């Protein structure tokens, strides 16, 4: 039986302020947790959006030029974001789904749950990078593994 990550740590490039124990602190790393059924709606939207993006980029034979892919069939966060951006998937809607999944008990700064105002304080570059990493690590790992076996 294959094992998938249940969480990973993302180091923030542009630290942002958050409230902890009566003090204003700088958030430097985020703990991302794998989605459960609680986040199934947002998770399904993100997965489906990515595969729609792949489909829209496929040639007549159904092949997609994935560029410099890693040998193990894994896909990087940057590649995920590039594929979504180059496709006809609505990036605004896609980012909103990602925001919903993060503020729904999937992301923590230490033991503090990420809230909507905290998400708004994050830089755009961090959000984009985080989105790619999250999707590649939690949402696509199992699917791509399955496709690789097939």
Partner 1 sequence: MPIALANPTVLINNLSVAIVPNSCTYTEGKGEQSVRVQSAGGGSVQSVLSNDIETNLSMVKFDMSATAENIETILTWKNNANANVISISGNGLTRSFANAALTNDYEVSLGNDSVISLEFKADAAI
Binding site for partner 1 (CB under 8 A): 17-24, 112, 115-118
CA distance 77 to 95: 14
The residue whose two tokens read 């993302």 is 10
- H/E stretch holding 125: helix 124-134
Q: How far is the CB of 18 from partner 1 (least distance, A)?
A: 6
CA atoms within 13 A on the CB side of 116: 3
Q: How far is the CB of 133 from partner 1 (least distance, A)?
A: 23
Q: How far is the CB of 109 from partner 1 (least distance, A)?
A: 9
Closer residue to partner 1 in complex, CB, 18/138: 18
How are the residues of the chain apportioned to helix, strand and coil, as percentages rounded to the nearest 5? 50, 20, 30
Strands 112-113 and 107-109, bridge-based pairing: antiparallel
Closer residue to partner 1 in complex, CB, 22/71: 22
The residue whose two tokens read 């947790």 is 33
Q: How far is the CB of 124 from partner 1 (least distance, A)?
A: 19
Q: How far is the CB of 56 from partner 1 (least distance, A)?
A: 37
CA distance 117 to 120: 5
């Amino acid at each position: 039986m294959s094992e998938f990550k249940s969480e990973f740590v993302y180091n923030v490039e542009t630290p942002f302020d958050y409230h902890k124990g009566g003090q204003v602190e700088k958030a430097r790393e985020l703990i991302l947790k794998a989605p459960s059924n609680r986040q199934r709606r947002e998770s399904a939207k993100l997965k489906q959006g990515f595969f729609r993006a792949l489909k829209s980029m496929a040639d007549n034979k159904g092949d997609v030029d994935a560029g410099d892919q890693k040998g193990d069939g894994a896909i990087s966060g940057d590649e995920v974001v590039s594929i979504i951006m180059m496709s006809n998937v609505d990036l605004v809607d896609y980012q909103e789904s990602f925001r919903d999944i993060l503020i729904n008990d999937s992301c923590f700064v230490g033991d503090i749950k990420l809230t909507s105002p905290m998400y708004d304080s994050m830089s755009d570059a961090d959000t984009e990078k985080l989105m790619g990493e999250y999707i590649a690590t939690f949402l696509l790992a199992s699917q791509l593994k399955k496709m690789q076996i097939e």
